[in-house]
Amino acid sequence: MPAAERGKYVYRIARLLQEKAREFAVIESMDGGKPIRESRDFDIPVAAAHFFYYAGWADKLGYAFPNRPVAPLGVAGQIIPWNFPLLMAAWKIAPALACGNTVVLKPAETTPLTALKLAELLQEAELPDGVVNIVTGAGATGAAVVNDPDINKIAFTGSTAVGKLIQRATAGTGKKLTLELGGKAPNIIFADATIDQAVEGIVNGIWFNQGHVCCAGSRLYVEESVHDEVVRKLKHRMKSLVVGDPLDKNTDIGAINSREQLGTINKYIKIGINEGSELYQSSCELPSKGFWCRPTLFTNVAQSARIAQEEIFGPVLAIQTFRTMDEVIQKANNTPYGLSAGVWTDKGSKIFNLTTKLRAGVVWANTFNKFDPTSPFGGYKESGYGREGGVHGLGAYLKLN
């Protein structure tokens, strides 16, 4: 299909998604448990923004990669997790189509509904049959996509453990592979930061989407002199967080995605207590039915503690202190992950120093969890490789000669 035609289809998808945003938001919250305010103000509009953004690139690929012949890869197999179901689908489908590929997408077993609704929308956009195929199922369905010899590219977002399996399965097959895996992001607060603003950034960093976020700011490093102030303000702020019905617009923290995930989170809370860290949870009411977890933090956490090293993927924050820049850089980089980081300070020089020394794909300064289709996203180390978003995201779906 000519590039300009492809761009029109991708644009039409964006427009339809915008029109049906309300319906998609309700389905997303009912299916996965996230607060409606987040699906409505974040997941769905940001998903639409990705289609708008990549629609514009379809006939300008030559500008993205000057003097290099570009061609689509063929069939892209895309496997996504349950934490941002429609948004992850948009991240993957929009650049794939803009670059002229076809798609086989497998949503997570617990959250297939918005991907299926998107399939309906694609029909309404009159995308030719077979260009995008949504296949539901569990891990075995994902493995079938990975192992299909007619699939030329695999884009995977999910756990580091499954990412490693896929890396082995595709080795030597010539399939192009991008991996967006787990994280354990440091959120670093210097004494010169605007503390109230930083506290809001911590709250958003760890309690957005119940902490089911690969780039969640799950490790907090506070400069020693402001530790007590930050913890006191954080505990105070936790009291006002409403845990409950995902469809209620006053809800801050919705349901945990599955019984299995709640089990994992509770296991880590026990580990934290047994490791000698000090637990604090807000005392809010929890609904009687379903899977829920109170906003949780630990103080007195050792760098070697499992709750400071391993991804929990829930609303659990591990707090440590630091005295010097070198110390915090060393601690922040000291996990197997390298997806994202946050820095809170009044000093531009500290920000520039840290952005070059932190091994993280994204470093947010005086903000957190900001996403824009124009900017690349992806990890170092065991957080994966390849970038999605921006011009970088196009390269993942093209043969560049």
Q: Which residues are catalytic?
A: 180, 214
* φ, ψ of residue 137 in degrees (nearest 5): 145, 180
Any residues with CB less than 8 A from the CB of 237 and at least 6 apart, and which? 199, 200, 203
Residue 401 Cβ, how far from ligand NAP at the closest point, in Å?
28
Residue among 140 and 249 whose Cβ is closer to ligand NAP: 140
Residue 362 Cβ, how far from ligand NAP at the closest point, in Å?
10
- For 258, the token pair is 């599955």
Residue among 221 and 377 whose Cβ is closer to ligand NAP: 377
Residue 58 Cβ, how far from ligand NAP at the closest point, in Å?
24
Which residue from 40, 118, 32, 42 is spatially nearest to 83, judged by alpha carbons? 32
Any residues with CB less than 8 A from the CB of 140 and at least 6 apart, and which? none
Residue among 113 and 199 whose Cβ is closer to ligand NAP: 113
- For 141, the token pair is 């369905």
Strand 219-223 and strand 153-157: pairing?
A: unpaired
> What is the C-alpha to C-alpha distance for residues 36 and 41, in angstroms, rounded to an integer?
8
Q: Which residues bind ligand NAP (CB under 6 A)?
A: 79-83, 106, 108-109, 138-139, 142-143, 146, 157-159, 162, 165-166, 180-183, 214, 311, 313, 339, 379, 384
Residue among 379 and 393 whose Cβ is closer to ligand NAP: 379
In the bound state, the residue with its beta carbon closest to ligand NAP is 142
> What is the C-alpha to C-alpha distance for residues 58 and 70, in angstroms, rounded to an integer?
12
Residue 38 Cβ, how far from ligand NAP at the closest point, in Å?
14
DSSP 269-306: HHHHHHTTPEEEE------SSS-----EEEES--TTSH
Residue 167 Cβ, how far from ligand NAP at the closest point, in Å?
11
CB atoms closer than 10 angstroms to residue 124:
12
**CA atoms lying within 13 Å on the CB side of residue 306:** 13
Residue among 201 and 378 whose Cβ is closer to ligand NAP: 378
